[in-house]
Structure 1
Amino acid sequence: MSLSATGVLSPAETEAGAPPQRRRRRLPGLRRWISPLALIALWQVASATGVLPPDKLSSPWTVLQAGIETARTGELGDAFAVSVGRVAVGFVLGAAVALTLGVVAGLSRWGDVLIDPPVQMLRTLPFLGLIPLFILWFGIGEQPKIMLVALGVAFPLYLNVHSGIRGTDPQLLEAATALGYTRWERLAHVVLPSAVPQTLVGLRQSLGIAWLALIVGETVNADAGLGYLINNAREFLRTDVIVVGLVVYAALGLATDALVRLIERRALRWRGN
């Protein structure tokens, strides 16, 4: 590699050197797969040597075969569709309530005084312990499962929306006022954009808790869904099917988190990072 007369690399030499740099950037992502793959290999070895009995935990190969079989019969697809539907409905309900309360409490002093204290009191309750009460109120159908998801979604999203609005930089508000912005213009161009990063954090937390709430809800009097699939497999000591259901839960959680991260990258391009 040589320098031109001006001491700058030529375009051809710059392009030739670019791929190794891109490969070096990708290496940290590839290295993150080392430990998970090593754990799976260790799991397979422990199962093959009898250290890990199949009645305690099936081998990765057996789990893979069980996943293919349940997918082929349509059992996994049906359970997947039911669970995703429950989370979707519960998330919409919980997010609507959280956004409304968070915006009102964040923007209004009276709203903060009237809304925040009861919300803070309710969020300290172990919402998973409310299952018996939900069953008494809503029966054993879809309602208690959806309400459990909605409740799990609402609190972290509310807290982050409220915090994001209250954390708006006062200097930005002063600058907007000095520029002659009206109250609604300050809200639209300063306050709400400032709250977006914190709101997206709350969205990621809410989606994680939504899947956790669904797992618990579907193991109580469920007749469909991934939780029902896992419970049914437990009755027949099918640890391979149980692991398949758990893997699908985890994959759904990772997929929704990745979706929010994609939205975050696009929505926060103005931050320049």
Structure 2
Amino acid sequence: MAQSANTAAGQPRSSYIKWHQLLPWLIPALLIALWQLAVATHWIDSGLLPAPLAVVQDGIKLWQSGELPKNISISLFRATTGFVIGGLAGFVLGLANGLSHTSRLLFDSTIQMLRNIPHLSLIPLVIILLGIGEPAKISLVTIGVLFPVYINTFHGITSVDPNLIEMGQSYGLSKWQLFTKIIFPGALPTILVGVRYALGVMWTTLIVAETISSNSGIGYMASNAQEFMDMDTVLLCIVIYALLGKVSDLIAKALEDLCLDWKTKGGAANG
């Protein structure tokens, strides 16, 4: 119906899709334009809040010097490693506790108690045990990521419609077939919500870890720039974190679209 309306209005579908993709960037673009205008007209002191162009120029300078790509790659390594370890651990635990009543009785209560401890409050303990090297920062990211993935995997597995499972059993499906054809596909949307949420926790944890206890990474750059009142670099680091977070969210959204393609097609067919 929407496609017919666009065609009737004389607007090609391809141009509609392009506009639809650009629309989410409209408000950020307007905010940046207003920010630039406010500094240019001296509504805001450039010493307090540098203009976006000054931040971009600082980024170009740091990129050409090699400092920016080096620190971005270090932060990406820490974030990716911690996310993979924590995500896999959370997924496996959520799967085990969701599928096995015995495993749930054994592990879930302990995991829930640990989950309610703010993981950033563990920073002093982690520093004492692991120092300020890579294991400390990766461990913090791992802990932060583990619980969102765990709770959503566990909830997804245990929330699958029991009528569907009973129907599968009546058709003579094996336990493995029940899992691959009914349980896991039914739990997948909830699991992917956990992955998407965990990506946000990943960057939040890394920012704090790199700011407090690090000698490299984007957070370290921001903390170091703060000591010298280098607002250009501080804002640059904030923008980089925001962009990395947005890219992570787009990847998670693309993963959802890919993994849940069957659900979209099924809904369209039913419609």
TM-score (normalizing by structure 1):
0.89
Unaligned runs of 5+ in 1: 1-13
Unaligned runs of 5+ in 2: 1-5, 266-271
**Cα distance in 2, alignment partners of residues 102 and 70 from structure 1:** 43
Task: Return the alpha-carbon distance in structure 2 between the equivalents of residues 34 and 82 of structure 1.
Answer: 31
Instruction: Give the residue type in structure 2 aligned to 1:204.
Output: R
CA-CA distance at 1:125 after TM superposition: 1.1
CA distance in 2, matches of 1:262, 1:188: 22
Structure number with larger C-alpha Rg: 1
Q: What is the distance in 2 between the residues matched to 1:50 and 1:83?
A: 35
Task: State which of 42, 48, 63 in structure 2 corresponds to 1:56.
Answer: 48
Match 2:30 to one of 31, 38, 41: 38
Alpha-carbon shift at residue 217 of structure 1 (Å): 0.3
Q: Structure 1 residue 270 and structure 2 residue 259: aligned?
A: no
The one-letter amino acid of 2:177's match is E
Q: Name 1:191's counterpart in structure 2.
A: 183
Shift of 1:55: 2.8
* Further displaced range: 205-214 or 257-266: 257-266
Matching residue's letter, 2:258: R
Q: How big is the shift at 1:70?
A: 0.8
For the residues of structure 2 that align with 1:32 and 1:165, how far apart are their CA atoms? 33
The one-letter amino acid of 1:259's match is I
Residue 55 of structure 1 contacts residue 237 of structure 1 at CA under 8 Å; is this kept in 2?
Answer: no
**Residues 1:224 and 2:216 aligned together:** yes
Deviation at 1:15, TM superposition (A): 8.4
Cα gap change, 1:73 to 1:122, in 2 (>3 Å): same
Aligned to 1:117: 109
Amino acid at match of 1:271: K
How does the TM-score come out when normalised to structure 2? 0.90
Amino acid at match of 1:160: N
Distance in 2, matches of 1:192 and 1:271, equals: 13
Partner AA of 1:181 in structure 2 = L
Query: For 2:125, which of 122, 133, 140 is the aligned residue?
Result: 133
Q: Which amino acid aligns with 1:229?
A: M
- CA distance in structure 1 between the aligned counterparts of 2:23 and 2:244, rounded to whole angstroms: 23
Partner of 1:81: 73
Q: Given that residues 90 and 147 in structure 2 are in contact (C-alpha distance below 8 angstroms), is that contact kept between their aligned partners in structure 1?
A: yes
Structure 2 residue aligned with 1:70: 62
Asked if the contact 2:7–2:13 (Cα under 8 Å) also holds between the matched residues in 1, the reply is no
Percent of matched pairs sharing the same residue: 39
CA contact (8 A) 2:36 2:52 kept: yes
Deviations 1:60-110 (A, max 9, x none): 110111111111111110000100000111112111210111011100112
In structure 2, the CA distance between the partners of 1:243 and 1:108, relative to structure 1 (3 Å rule), is: same
The 1-side partners of 2:25 and 2:244 are apart by 19
What is the match of residue 171 of structure 2? 179
